[in-house]
């Protein structure tokens, strides 16, 4: 496992399976500036040359402003094979549904109530 990298908005690392994991800080509102910083970190980690499966997690609540959502939707295809979000919050589910309604993601992106389900879905995208 790679060392944890802390940003203002989150903690990021690549696990032993090569899955890019990001944990958004509880209560944090990810802005466009934060999203740009995260994608620059993904580039430094080589995700633009070797696309990764992404597992996003958050505590009780976090959010992405519209500009950050738009940026992530536009650039995700350069860095990710598929992306899963783990969270059980109704508020996060509403945010996720808003994202899907208004922004077309260039990679498969799905929300799960458990890490186990999210990882099973992500692993289905691994090249044999």
Read off the pTM. Answer: 0.86
Please tell me the distance from the alpha carbon of residue 31 to that of residue 74, in angstroms, as a whole number.
Answer: 15
SS3 content of the chain, % helix, strand, coil (to 5): 40, 25, 35
pLDDT digits (tens, 9 = 90+) for 68-79: 988 998 999 999
Domains of the chain: 5-123 (3.30.750.24)
Banded pLDDT at 46 (limits 50, 70, 90):
very high
């Amino acid at each position: 496992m790679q060392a944890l990298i802390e940003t203002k908005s989150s903690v990021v690392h690549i696990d032993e399976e090569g899955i890019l994991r990001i944990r958004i800080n509880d209560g944090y509102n990810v802005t466009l500036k934060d999203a740009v910083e995260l994608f620059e970190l993904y580039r430094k980690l080589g995700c633009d040359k070797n696309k990764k499966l992404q597992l996003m997690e958050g505590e009780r609540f976090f959010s992405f402003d519209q500009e950050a959502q738009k940026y992530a939707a536009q650039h995700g295809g350069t860095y990710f094979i598929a992306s899963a979000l783990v969270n059980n919050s109704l508020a996060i589910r509403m945010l996720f549904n808003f994202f899907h309604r208004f922004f077309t993601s260039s990679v498969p992106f799905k929300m799960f109530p458990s890490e186990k389900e999210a990882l099973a879905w992500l692993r289905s995208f691994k090249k044999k």
